[in-house]
Amino acid sequence: MNEDELTGRACTHISAVDDPKCLLHAQAVTPFLNLRRAAAADGIDLEPLSSFRGFDRQLAIWNGKFSGERPMLDAAGTRLEAGALSPKDRIDAILMWSALPGASRHHWGTDLDVVDRNAAAGDYQIKLTPDEFAPGGPFAALDGWLEIHAPRFGFFRPFKGERSGVQPEPWHLSFAPIAEKARRLLSPAVLRNAIRGAPLLGKEAVLERLDELHARYVARIDLP
């Protein structure tokens, strides 16, 4: 991947999948469809709720949270008031749940947020929270299935809450053969180039701490 692809400013590495509807790195399409077929054989309808996400989309998420227009949550999932926080504290709160524009793994097309559609029957509103994947939650069976089977197809979960700076995201799958290469290529310098000219709220505070933020939220993951 080149720098624009790494930071979501280009999508030349992305292929569109019709069934299920999603956007993936061209080399991740077949492995994901194979994973999905294996899940279906065990009664799981593996559905991606989010796949490739470009820089501008991530920027809108970031700016919405920084400004208070979108919900900003603490580690326990309690809503925070953006106006009551310093720029530094806003940045730290956002990064527990959302990546910096240019630093999202979704930019690479290797990462998806998945659920079991068969387990979300009726009018159930999916929230994508850890308790949904915990024992007693609607996606507890999916959680166990992914733990056993995802590695056979090259996928792992980078945000288990064991090492990563991001809060646990048991729904987040990553295709390791491509994602690990991308993670090593996405240096602080590459990320700085992507952010410097963007209308990012809190940009000055972000750039002052970029090496620290990169080390904690990009480089540090739960490795496969």
**Would you say domain 3-219 falls under CATH 3.30.1380.10?**
yes
Span 86-124, pLDDT tens digits: 999 999 999 988 899 999 999 999 999 999 999 987 788
Break the chain into its structural domains and give their ranges. Answer: 3-219
In the predicted model, what is the mean pLDDT of the chain? 94
Range in 14-18, 82-86, 163-167 with the lowest mean pLDDT = 163-167
Looking at residues 4-25, what average pLDDT do you find? Answer: 97
Rounded Cα distance between 185 and 198, Å, is 21
Q: How confident is the model at residue 55, as a pLDDT? A: 97
Rounded Cα distance between 202 and 88, Å, is 8
Residue 82 has pLDDT above 90, yes or no: no
List the end-to-end C-alpha distance of the chain, in Å, as a whole number: 21
